[in-house]
Amino acid sequence: MIFPAILCTLIALQVPSSAPAGPAAPRSPEPRTVQGAGAPGFDIPRIEQAPTIDGRLDEPAWQQATRLTGFSEYRPVDGQKASEQTDVLVWYSPSALYFGIIAHDSSPGSIRATNADRDNIGLDDSVRIFLDTFNDRRRAFIFGVNPLGVQEDGVQTEGSFNAGRMMGMNGSVDLSPDYQFDSKGRLTADGYVVEVRIPFKSLRYPSMSGAKWGVNILRKTQRTGREDTWTDARRVASFLAQSGQMSGLSEVQRGVVTELQPFVTAAANGTRTGATTFSRPSPDVSMGANLRLGFTNTSIDATLNPDFSQVESDAAQVTVNERFALFFAEKRPFFLEGIELFSTPNQLVYTRRIVDPIGGGKITGKIGKTGFAVLSAFDQGGARDTWSNIARVRRDVGANSLAGITYTDRTNPDGSNRVAAADARIVFKKLYYVLGQVGGSWTDRNGARTSSPMFQAEFDRTARTWGFNYRLSGFGRAFDAQSGYVPRNNMVEFRAFNRFTYYGARGSLLETGSVFFGPTRLWKYGDFGRAKPIEGGESVNTTATLRGGWALSANVARAFVNFDPAAFASYTVSKSAGPAAFVVPGEVSNWGGTYSVTSPIFEKMNARVEFKRGGTAIFAEAADGRETRVTTSLGLRPTPSVRAEASFVTSRITRDRTNTE
């Protein structure tokens, strides 16, 4: 097993957890105001104080802080001055960073602020602080607050999928991690004020000597649906690359973060053994512990017999007419630390495959330009106990590009499965990226060995008015990623989508309108370039953002499928004369549409309705059908402390030939 050897090596490479003794701390510079245009750099003052976090900003330290101002609109229309003024004060003490948020509002009575749960402030006005502590423009800590100081935290990762969640092609925001920080906010006569303290022990960062951190602030106003950023960020290939630069940090006090979480659980399951008797066996007692050692740039985690009974349950999903396994986000604490470092194209790492570990260990971190993540666990969640090992190393290349390698293996008495792949993402001219990945799987099942390749090539332009995404990916006939989420093999898929966006003037009825259109084609792996595709379609999707925060969308699509006769070879049809052979139909082609309306985030409620109607292939029967699906959601907030959310999904599929369900 590779885990112990790598553990020893990385401990030897560890950067010291606190700066060595040296010259006296630098004198705090005079307070200054920094406009965000052009993503400027600024020095952060050091102040030897420990203010009370009460949302007042009345201690002397705030009078010496650097003021970040001059925000610009980011959504829905980027590149113009923000309609509401925002100022952010920032300074640091030997143990923590401090942010004082002063959000002015021309309609303070319409500010959305509730006593929401942590990471559930998406319906409130809010401010997010992005800290790119390695200044690599690829990953940033997120610390968010609503006007009352309710917290939201996580990680933004640029240009990849995430090992715990499905993400978009231009990066991801994962709110699963929870970091320790303090915040308190209050509403004022002209807006709101929030005071934030972020301890250095909650962050990972390289040596402080000459360090520069990327910083950006994003404010969201629900009344108008607008998002403003401190720097004049544009909606291009990288958001983090447009951050400002914070320097001046030195001689901070962090130490080694040590967390030990022992736990004991007991359960007794009784059964009725007769009309008047009941069997009560002795309680089943289980003990375990989690341990975490956090250094400046590396974290070491271990778990023994973990208890996941208190983890949030998975959201319900509709499984009607589904051919492949559903995806569920990772929510278990042991797997969340540093999960973004396992991110890789094509979801080759999916930690939910480790179902019920007896024990495990993990190392995640970054040294210089190299990020690393190693996980090893013994899993008893399947038919046979299994060793699972996952390793990922990636290297920053140039200003915004990266390259990486991924290795996974699962081993049990019945055999093994191994996957190895290399990938690279090259960003150029700020608007374009090229992504490539090649790899393969090697599987041994009771002595029967198979192997298959995989590949992906992608070209993307993310610009203000015109963009596109062209992708070709393939998985061999026997490709098997048992540690990842690859729901389909033996296929090659090509897609080519284009986007055009219109931006209206501020205050106009139509603020933004976009059209997405393009084809998708899918072949069997061995038939690519030699036979017609087995599935595909074309779609046109239009979206519009209206004044006041309303959003409309309409999608019209054609989809076709050619059923594989081999998959239905055992099917028969019941007739009076006896069973007859089932005749697989030829190509089935259908048209359909999906339409939705999303309301603004009103003070007391918000809602969304989606309606889908059109033809669909019924895959279990190789038949043609019609589907009607309605999805609705409603959020109610009668008081700042009461919130109710409800959703309703109904799906009905009928056969064309019999008009039956």
pLDDT in tens, 169-206: 345 788 888 899 999 999 999 999 999 999 999 998 98
Question: How many domains does the chain fold into?
Answer: 3
19 located within any domain? no
pTM beyond 0.85: the answer is no
Nearest-angstrom CA–CA distance, 538 and 542: 14
Whether 99 is covered by a domain: the verdict is yes
Domain check: are 306 and 238 in the same one? Answer: no
22 found inside a domain: no
Beta-bridge partner residues of 145: 127, 151
Residue 68, token pair as written in the block: 């970040």
Terminal C-alpha separation, the chain: 52
In terms of residue numbers, what domain contains 328? Answer: 256-266+280-489
545 in the same domain as 615: yes
Residue 74 pLDDT more than 80? Answer: yes
CB atoms inside a 10 Å sphere around CB 271: 9
pLDDT grade, residue 18 (50/70/90)?
Answer: very low
Contact of 29 with 45, CB cutoff 8 Å: yes
86 exposure class (CB count in 10 Å sphere: 0-12, 13-18, 19+) = buried
The CA distance from 45 to 51, in Å, is: 15
Query: Does 73 share its domain with 40?
Result: yes
From residue 486, alpha-carbon distances to 325, 347, 460, 470 in Å are 9, 7, 22, 20
Same domain, 332 and 417: yes
> pLDDT category, 16, cuts 50, 70, 90?
very low
Segment 490-516, tens digit of pLDDT: 999 999 999 999 998 878 899 999 999
Q: Which residues contact 636 (CB under 8 A, 6 or more apart)?
A: 604, 605, 643, 644, 645
Say yes or no: 482 and 435 in one domain. yes
> Pick the residue with more confidence: 282 or 572?
282
- The tokens describing 385, both together, are 């106990």
- Considering only CA atoms, which of 116, 184, 114, 120 is closest in space to residue 640? 114
Question: Do 408 and 552 share a domain, yes or no?
Answer: no
Residue 526 lies in a domain: no
Query: Is there a single domain that holds both residue 564 and residue 657?
Result: yes
The answer to whether residue 3 is domain-embedded is no
As a whole number of angstroms, the distance between CA 257 and CA 300 comes to: 10
pLDDT single digits (tens) 359-376: 999 999 999 899 999 999
Contact 471, 492 (CB under 8 A): no
Distances (CA, A) of 220 to 68, 212, 244: 17, 26, 19
Residues 165, 350: Cα–Cα separation, whole Å: 8
Q: Among the listed ranges 23-27, 130-134, 139-143, 264-268, which one has the minimum average pLDDT value?
A: 23-27
User: Do 406 and 478 lie in a common domain?
Assistant: yes
The fraction of the chain above a pLDDT of 90, given in percent, is 57
Q: What is the CATH number of the domain that holds 160?
A: 2.60.40.1190
Closest C-alpha to 343, from 138, 498, 507, 141: 138
| Residue 272 counted as domain residue | no
Does residue 324 sit in the same domain as residue 422?
yes
Nearest alpha carbon to residue 425 among 163, 169, 243, 134: 169
Domain assignment present for residue 9? The answer is no
For residue 44, what pLDDT is reported? 94
Q: HSE of 89 in the Cβ direction (CA atoms, 13 Å)?
A: 22
- Residue 578's pLDDT is 61
Q: What is the DSSP letter of 7?
A: H
Largest CA distance in the chain: 98
Q: Identify the CA nearest to 132 among candidates 442, 436, 407, 340.
A: 340
Identify whether residues 135 and 233 lie together within a single domain: yes
Q: Where would I find the beta strands (DSSP E) of 429-577?
A: 432-445, 448-461, 466-475, 491-503, 510-524, 535-546, 551-562, 572-573
Is residue 129 domain-shared with residue 207, that is, in the same domain?
Answer: yes
Q: Please report whether residue 16 resides in a domain.
A: no
Residues 485 and 512 reside in one and the same domain? no
Residue 65 confidence (pLDDT) above 80: yes
